[in-house]
Amino acid sequence: MFGPGEYVRAPTKGITDVKDFPPPKIVLHSYNYQREPCPHCGHRVYRHRQGQRMLHDLGDLCSGRPVDLLVPYSHHYCSKCRKYFNADLSTLVPPGSHYTHRVIEMAVRLVVEDNEGYLFKPGLPL
């Protein structure tokens, strides 16, 4: 019969200097499309140019290394409504953020679990 596994110490536990952390693992996650529908008028337009963003994601549990996503994305121009737009990254990251939805959800969950109502007790100064 199988039982719970052995709990091992996290490889980064006890590191106090940022320079001592292992380098991040770079993962390619492409949003580079040849054609996209315009979000304003729906006309399918060709790619005008390309860009790329570096986003931070949850770390790799096996190696203990952080994960950075290199995201190439397409930039489009609609000749009908004369507007520029980027490929939609909202499923991966909120607009203007450097952290994925998974990182933000984990951070919020950890703050709520650690404080267990401390933030919302009446009468406490903020």
Q: Residue 118 corresponds to which tokens in the numbers above?
A: 């401390």
Residues of the chain above pLDDT 70, percent: 79
Burial class of residue 24 in the structure, from the number of CB atoms within 10 Å of its CB (0-12 exposed, 13-18 middle, 19+ buried): middle
pTM above 0.85, yes or no: no
Which residues, in sequence order, are CB contacts of 82 under 8 Å at separation 6+? none
Q: How many CB atoms are closer than 10 A to CB 36?
A: 20
pLDDT tens, position by position, 69-118 = 999 999 999 999 999 999 999 999 999 899 999 999 988 888 877 776 55
| Separation CA 57–CA 68 (nearest Å) | 6
Distance CA 48, CA 29 (A): 20
